[in-house]
Structure 1
Amino acid sequence: MDLQRSVIVVLLVMAVSLKLGSAGDIVHHDNIAPKRPGCDNNFVLVKVPTWVNGLETSEYVGVGARFGPTLESKERRANHTRVILADPPDYCSPPKKNLSGEIVLVHRGNCSFTTKANIAETANASAVLIINYETELFKMVCEDKETDLNISIPAVMLPQDAGTILEDDLKNNFRVSVQLYSPLRPLVDIAEVFLWLMAVGTILCASYWSAWTTREAALEQDKLLKDASEETLNAEGSESSGYVDINTTAAVLFVVIASCFLVMLYKLMSSWFLEVLVVLFCIGGVEGLQTCLVALLSCFRWFKHARESYVKVPILGAVSYLTLAVSPFCIVLAAIWAANRRVSFAWIGQDILGIALIITVLQIVRIPNLKVGTVLLSCAFMYDIFWVFVSKWWFHESVMIVVARGDKSGEDGIPMLLKIPRMFDPWGGYSIIGFGDIILPGLVVAFSLRFDWLANKKLRAGYFVWAMSAYGLGLLITYVALNLMDGHGQPALLYIVPFTLGPFLTLGKKRGDLKILWIRGEPERPCPHVKVEPYEEERPQE
């Protein structure tokens, strides 16, 4: 149990470091280059399917310019247009021949983007494709001195590798044609619905498991207090409960350590460092899945003997036969996921391991009262806002979004995320949510159900229904904000924390339970081993 708690606490710090409820950006706003007449487009990604000698080949992704007309959003309305090489290649001087509605492929450099577009328009081109000299996409803006631009053809930048392929085909005298269109994202993707259900369902399962084990422990303690001697009670009380309780100091340090870990991820993010994170995630996932499976199988009487029989294992100590039986399955599942994590369906294994890890964390790590929960969520609230929004002032980019998306690792983000592929989004990608957006509010929600059960409160009279509903509503508002912000990453706890804590504190104050919730964290229960004697005046007369 000590090893298990150590692993869970380490993984919890890593999980708290990331709290993001977004997919990748689709529309890119540039605050450095303000909009002006003729140069006021949003930066949109552009699909560029290609045909070589009449046969459809690859589809590339470019980015539209700040200037020029907006592109068609429907593929069926986009024209198939022939592409020719620019002469001169940079199109910074008058072309050697006029075009007849073709798309011209030019190189970046030697003059402004608007100059290239103006020369292409003068040569009767229908659009201009500009090849970047890097593999990344670059935002094409207007020069400061340029005002009242009137460019009537679209300009699209392609990454270097895509542009080089098209250029080679044209130099080999192949007939190349393309379509240019920028499809819109759906307002709501069904992936977000499933992700919402996964997050809410995970907290629901973890809360009931935590409340059930707490109630069983309370009943067992009452029985011991009633039947056992004082020496036995002292010996029993000295044993470890197997839980990790967070205090206010730990709550603050938790967020500070998570901030340090996030900066370390940002600075050290690379392929080798990602491999280390994958190994740590697999260890935590195996531990979490093993704990969940053992608890689930223990509900059946067929596994009672295997659950209660133990064998001593080096380093690990006493381990039940049931744990030894399920461990190979968990290890194999984690190994298969790690070896195939780059394939399209790897998100399934990642979500299974992640959900099991989250449930185990919420079972082992607990907040003793509402005061600690309020401090923890308040610190996480400020942490979330700082690393998503404020960090842009120091690092020139959002640290949390960069780390969560894995921009510096060359892969689809780090594994401490639940993710589902976007099903109806023409740009693909994933809807994701960080473990911290589930674990941190989940600690408060699980606490509310434990209090309700110990206080013997009915469902409507308790706090769990309100806390669970408030969390679900807060997460829903997060996705609404995410879509309103054109897919930009949002600090989920900015919305979740007020929705989760607000009703809990207000309802506790209204019902007169706030003092008990804030300090004790559990209702007062009579001690079954103490026999209350009647007062002298209450004793029957002989």
Structure 2
Amino acid sequence: MGAAGVLRAALWGLLFPLISAQEGLLHAFSNDNPLLKKDYCIMYNSFWTSLPSSLSNATPTRLVIFTPKMLCSSSDVPHHIAKDKAIVVKRGNCTFLEKAWIAQNLDAKILLIASETGLTTPGGDKSTYKNLSIPIVVMSYVDVFDISKSLGNNVNVTLYSPPSREFDFSMVIIFLIAVLTVAVGGFWSGMEELEELKAAASSENPGVSRKNSETILFGPVKIIIFVVFSCIMLVLMYYFYIWLVYVIIAIFCLGSATSLYCCLAVLIQKIPFGRCRLACCNTTFEVRLIFLAGFCVAVAAVWVVFRNENSWAWILQDILGIAFCLNFIKVLKIPNFKLCVLLLGLLLVYDVFFVFITPYLTKSGESIMVEVAAGPFKNSEKNYGNLVEASAERSAPHEKLPVVMRVPRFQFCTPKICGMQFSLLGFGDIILPGVLVAYCHRFDVQTSSSSVYYISCCIGYAVGMLLTFVVLSLMKMPQPALLWLVPCILITSALVAWKRKEMKKFWEGNSYQVMDPADCATTEENSTLSSERCGGE
């Protein structure tokens, strides 16, 4: 595949499921002055802890703050003080579950863990927490300090989690981004195919297309290598997240800046004026394209610097992500439906395996895919053998992988308390179905089918996205989107080909499409169709 192809595969081979957060509220009020009250954001694991849906149904509990104690030993907290109390201890030195068992043995009613490393959902070995009954929540260390400062030492707290609506408007935006990106990317690929056909028709050898230097042709060997590489990369991310996340960020920055340039350059070149050129080293450059390159690099650089600014950085990430997906859908070419089925089928198995099967294989009982998507510190206070160091200042949130579209959720009842919550969709859930949409449009161009395959496949993708959102709302758990997208687009495309009595041609592809030389060696030597696709070699 080459170094560039491996790096690209490393980035978008990570197909993340749609995931949702588990936020709640801590309502604190002073026993000395009932008028003094305040709400704080908490994170909890809904599989461990069930919180009331409203404040009126919650039971007040006396709060006792033991920070900077970490409760890694029962001697850290006196039993007579912790009994029937909501106790606050500091995050670090041992796992959430170890703290929870000690707190439960001390007869505490609620365990609150004060974190300086950002709010994360408590997690751990499922077989261990089954017998735990004490609620476990994570809150900010700064908020714990604020409770003491604002409300005093005689404080009661109640925990509750307001119900969220089944439908959120952010899903509409995610849907539009995904469908429009796939549709535009597929249309772009088809138009490029039309230009190549015209160029081939006017050349001396019209039977064979000119392979674009920017095109990545996938054959059976490359598909298998790609899927295997994606599996290896995901497992490596699971074990070495804190180092590899910066590699992925760097690759995304470079790839998205290049993709944004490719997308905008196509539009700028349609403008008939301002074509001033600059000569350098026996080569001429359009000045406006030089400025465009600088602009694209600047956009990517701004995102890198401010990527953790939740209030607006998501807009830049989505713009760069859309350009990234568009460019890959246009560049990545599968020569026939047969290889599309192979690629999407293998990645469907990959997606389902790492979301639904790996919980039975990991020690923590959590999905590898969800673990990587959630980032570090999700399941434990320990990180690759190193304890989380406590600092005097509030630390920045951990790095997140940028291979997702992020749209703020609108439905959470107290966004100012818990900050922005996001709906996510992985790039792979756009790029990979987009590859089939692009093939359908190229096939339409090659066979003069009036875009029937292209439009049908786009509709199939839209139906698959709607089905994904419905299942996500009903099941309320992480979903591998390809589980619903792949059958919708494959079945739709196959039905159109069968109805038009073109299945054989659609399955094998048009002889105009030239295969990559590396894959020609794997085809049957006596196949006439293979000979045509390999340029008669």
Q: Name the TM-score class by shorter chain.
A: 0.7 to 0.9
TM-aligned CA distance change 1:86 to 1:399, over 3 Å:
closer
Deviations 1:406-460 (A, max 9, x none): 235953630111111111134652111111111111000111112112322224x
Structure 2 partner of 1:191: 170
Structure 2 partner of 1:274: 245
TM-score, structure 1 as length reference: 0.74
Question: Which of 217, 226, 229 does residue 245 from structure 1 map onto?
Answer: 217
Structure 1 residue runs of 5 or longer lacking an equivalent are 27-44, 118-127, 525-542
Structure 2 partner of 1:206: 185
TM-aligned CA distance change 1:310 to 1:200, over 3 Å:
farther
- In the alignment, the residues of structure 2 paired with residue 145 and residue 281 of structure 1 have an alpha-carbon distance, to the nearest angstrom, of 40
Deviations 1:356-400 (A, max 9, x none): 011111111111111111111011111111111112222232111
Report if aligned partners of 1:313, 1:319 keep a CA contact under 8 Å in 2. no
The structural deviation recorded for 1:507 is: 2.3
Structure 2 partner of 1:457: 449
Correspondence 1:368 to 2:368: no
TM-aligned CA distance change 1:47 to 1:240, over 3 Å:
closer
- In the alignment, the residues of structure 1 paired with residue 130 and residue 474 of structure 2 have an alpha-carbon distance, to the nearest angstrom, of 33
- In the alignment, the residues of structure 2 paired with residue 382 and residue 140 of structure 1 have an alpha-carbon distance, to the nearest angstrom, of 25
- In the alignment, the residues of structure 1 paired with residue 111 and residue 200 of structure 2 have an alpha-carbon distance, to the nearest angstrom, of 74
- In the alignment, the residues of structure 2 paired with residue 412 and residue 497 of structure 1 have an alpha-carbon distance, to the nearest angstrom, of 30
Structure 2 partner of 1:48: 26
- In the alignment, the residues of structure 2 paired with residue 47 and residue 217 of structure 1 have an alpha-carbon distance, to the nearest angstrom, of 59
Q: Match of 1:298, as an amino acid?
A: Q
Report if aligned partners of 1:49, 1:60 keep a CA contact under 8 Å in 2. no
- In the alignment, the residues of structure 2 paired with residue 109 and residue 208 of structure 1 have an alpha-carbon distance, to the nearest angstrom, of 55
Structure 2 partner of 1:388: 355
- In the alignment, the residues of structure 2 paired with residue 444 and residue 184 of structure 1 have an alpha-carbon distance, to the nearest angstrom, of 39
The SS at the match of 1:47 is strand
Deviations 1:2-32 (A, max 9, x none): 9xx964x345313432222413343xxxxxx
Structure 2 partner of 1:421: 408
The SS at the match of 1:216 is helix
Correspondence 1:300 to 2:271: yes
- In the alignment, the residues of structure 2 paired with residue 139 and residue 242 of structure 1 have an alpha-carbon distance, to the nearest angstrom, of 45
Question: Which of 209, 230, 236 does residue 264 from structure 1 map onto?
Answer: 236
TM-aligned CA distance change 1:417 to 1:111, over 3 Å:
closer
Correspondence 1:19 to 2:11: no
Correspondence 1:438 to 2:400: no
The structural deviation recorded for 1:296 is: 0.9
- In the alignment, the residues of structure 1 paired with residue 17 and residue 248 of structure 2 have an alpha-carbon distance, to the nearest angstrom, of 20
Question: Which of 457, 464, 482 does residue 474 from structure 1 map onto?
Answer: 464
- In the alignment, the residues of structure 1 paired with residue 261 and residue 59 of structure 2 have an alpha-carbon distance, to the nearest angstrom, of 55
The structural deviation recorded for 1:204 is: 1.0
Q: Match of 2:455, as an amino acid?
A: V
TM-aligned CA distance change 1:166 to 1:382, over 3 Å:
same
Question: Which of 321, 330, 335 does residue 354 from structure 1 map onto?
Answer: 321
Report if aligned partners of 1:470, 1:500 keep a CA contact under 8 Å in 2. yes
The structural deviation recorded for 1:333 is: 0.8
- In the alignment, the residues of structure 2 paired with residue 181 and residue 104 of structure 1 have an alpha-carbon distance, to the nearest angstrom, of 14
TM-aligned CA distance change 1:420 to 1:133, over 3 Å:
closer
TM-aligned CA distance change 1:496 to 1:24, over 3 Å:
same
Structure 2 partner of 1:537: none
Give the alignment of 1:262-341 within 5 angstroms: 262-270=234-242, 272-303=243-274, 305-306=275-276, 320-341=286-307
The structural deviation recorded for 1:518 is: 1.4
- In the alignment, the residues of structure 1 paired with residue 48 and residue 168 of structure 2 have an alpha-carbon distance, to the nearest angstrom, of 30
Percent of paired sites with the same residue: 25
The SS at the match of 1:326 is helix
The SS at the match of 1:180 is strand
The structural deviation recorded for 1:193 is: 1.1
The structural deviation recorded for 1:288 is: 0.3
TM-aligned CA distance change 1:89 to 1:169, over 3 Å:
farther
- In the alignment, the residues of structure 2 paired with residue 475 and residue 240 of structure 1 have an alpha-carbon distance, to the nearest angstrom, of 32
The structural deviation recorded for 1:276 is: 2.5
Correspondence 1:492 to 2:481: yes
Correspondence 1:402 to 2:402: no
- In the alignment, the residues of structure 1 paired with residue 110 and residue 401 of structure 2 have an alpha-carbon distance, to the nearest angstrom, of 34
Q: Match of 2:374, as an amino acid?
A: R
Q: Between 172-181 and 503-512, report the one with greater CA deviation.
A: 172-181
The structural deviation recorded for 1:477 is: 1.0
Give the alignment of 1:113-262 within 5 angstroms: 113=104, 116=107, 128-132=109-113, 137=122, 156-159=135-138, 162=141, 165=144, 169=148, 174-225=153-204, 240-262=212-234
Report if aligned partners of 1:417, 1:435 keep a CA contact under 8 Å in 2. yes
Correspondence 1:447 to 2:436: no
TM-score, structure 2 as length reference: 0.74
Report if aligned partners of 2:167, 2:473 keep a CA contact under 8 Å in 1. yes
Structure 2 partner of 1:61: 42
The structural deviation recorded for 1:485 is: 1.9
TM-aligned CA distance change 1:142 to 1:86, over 3 Å:
farther
Report if aligned partners of 2:36, 2:151 keep a CA contact under 8 Å in 1. no
The SS at the match of 2:159 is coil
Report if aligned partners of 1:418, 1:435 keep a CA contact under 8 Å in 2. yes
- In the alignment, the residues of structure 2 paired with residue 402 and residue 190 of structure 1 have an alpha-carbon distance, to the nearest angstrom, of 26
Larger Rg: 1
Aligned length: 463
- In the alignment, the residues of structure 2 paired with residue 313 and residue 22 of structure 1 have an alpha-carbon distance, to the nearest angstrom, of 49
Deviations 1:477-535 (A, max 9, x none): 1111111222x2111111111111012113212322111111133689xxxxxxxxxxx
Q: Match of 2:301, as an amino acid?
A: A
- In the alignment, the residues of structure 2 paired with residue 145 and residue 366 of structure 1 have an alpha-carbon distance, to the nearest angstrom, of 49
Structure 1 partner of 2:72: none
What do you get for the CA RMSD once the two structures are aligned?
4.1
The structural deviation recorded for 1:216 is: 1.5
Structure 2 partner of 1:530: none
Report if aligned partners of 1:73, 1:184 keep a CA contact under 8 Å in 2. yes
Q: Match of 1:370, as an amino acid?
A: F
Structure 2 partner of 1:74: 54
TM-aligned CA distance change 1:268 to 1:242, over 3 Å:
same
TM-aligned CA distance change 1:93 to 1:139, over 3 Å:
farther
The SS at the match of 1:463 is helix
Report if aligned partners of 2:19, 2:479 keep a CA contact under 8 Å in 1. no
Q: Between 174-183 and 368-377, report the one with greater CA deviation.
A: 174-183
Report if aligned partners of 2:359, 2:367 keep a CA contact under 8 Å in 1. yes
